[in-house]
Amino acid sequence: MEEQKSIKMSALGFYLPEKVVTNDDLAKIVETSDEWIYSHTGIKQRRYANEEEKASDLAIKAIKNMDVDLSEIDAIIVATATPDYYGFPSTACIISEKMQLKNVNIAFDIVAGCTGFIYALENARALICASSAKKVLVVGTEILSKVVDFEDRNTCVLFADGAGCALVEKSNNKFNSILGVEKAGSEKLYIDNKSHIKMDGRAVYNFAVKRIVETILKLVEKNSLNLKDIDHIVSHQANIRILQAAAKRLKIRSDKFFSNVDQVANTSAASIPVALASLNNMNKLKEGDKIILVGFGAGLTYGGAYLEWKK
């Protein structure tokens, strides 16, 4: 019998905090306006967690929104830049303990910025193909509202909170990924020693557009496809201008890129799973759909994955 060497996402879930913060709300505390934010980013509103909530709490609520048998999960990988604690225990371990997931024997965090979910998916694939796990819970969860500098109007308007997750298991479906990093760009986007996000906006914009286009083209070629064969591109939701610029360079319609950045803003490692789960909840994912996931972020990391949809 041929060995299973691929994976699928058999369930998706996401959670966004209840507190809605509009551009007008931010204009009351920093020198900005709804018109400026929307025209420069495409963002209209974002969600913030309450003071007591941690990244693990958002993740647990997202997991509970999935229709899965939690007793079958034997590994958890959490992508986050805002863990419950900057050290041990890992947020993955905390989730496992809080949810009493007794069959989990592998649990760890990944810090790869906004590309974290892509990195986590590839780690899940490796665990499953090595027979180290059968069903892996892959989570992206962030509380970025606690690390933004509300005196910096160029960054505080961008980031928000949320969590998304996928149950990953073996499959005959095609799945492959590309991971990368520009080590020389580590100072372009990072969290400083005051726990504030610092970003060189122009440099990150140029990096993001370039790497999105390159990654998509490499995945299309790797899978012997054409761009017209791709049904959905689910990118990290950072800025609508980045997605529009990437679509223009690829010479495809901008609506090929799914976007919910206007409603959720930039939720870093949670961005891609939240977007994918939202697309699924809208009944826009059909059996056999060809999907590209693509991320970029602090590090500077980037990466993408190709999959054919099958639950």
Where in the sequence numbering do the catalytic residues fall?
114, 236, 266
Cβ distance 243 to 235 under 8 Å? yes
For 69-85, b where at least 16 C-beta lie within 10 A, e where not — what string?
A: ebeebbbbbbbbbbbbe
Q: How many CA atoms lie within 13 A of 203 on its CB side?
A: 15
Quick check: helix, strand or coil at residue 142?
Answer: strand
The residue type at 226: N
| Pairing label, strands 135-143, 161-171 | antiparallel
Cβ distance 142 to 185 under 8 Å? no
Q: How many CB atoms neighbour CB 107 within 10 A?
A: 22
> What is the distance between the alpha carbons of residues 157 and 3, in angstroms, rounded to a whole number?
48
For residue 8, give the DSSP letter: E
Omega before 89 within 30 of 0, i.e. cis: yes
Please state at what angle helix 116-129 crosses helix 271-281, rounded to 10 degrees.
80
Q: Which residue has the tokens 């909840």?
A: 281
- Interior angle at CA 265, CA 88 and CA 122, nearest 5: 50
Provide the β-strand partners of residue 301: 181, 297
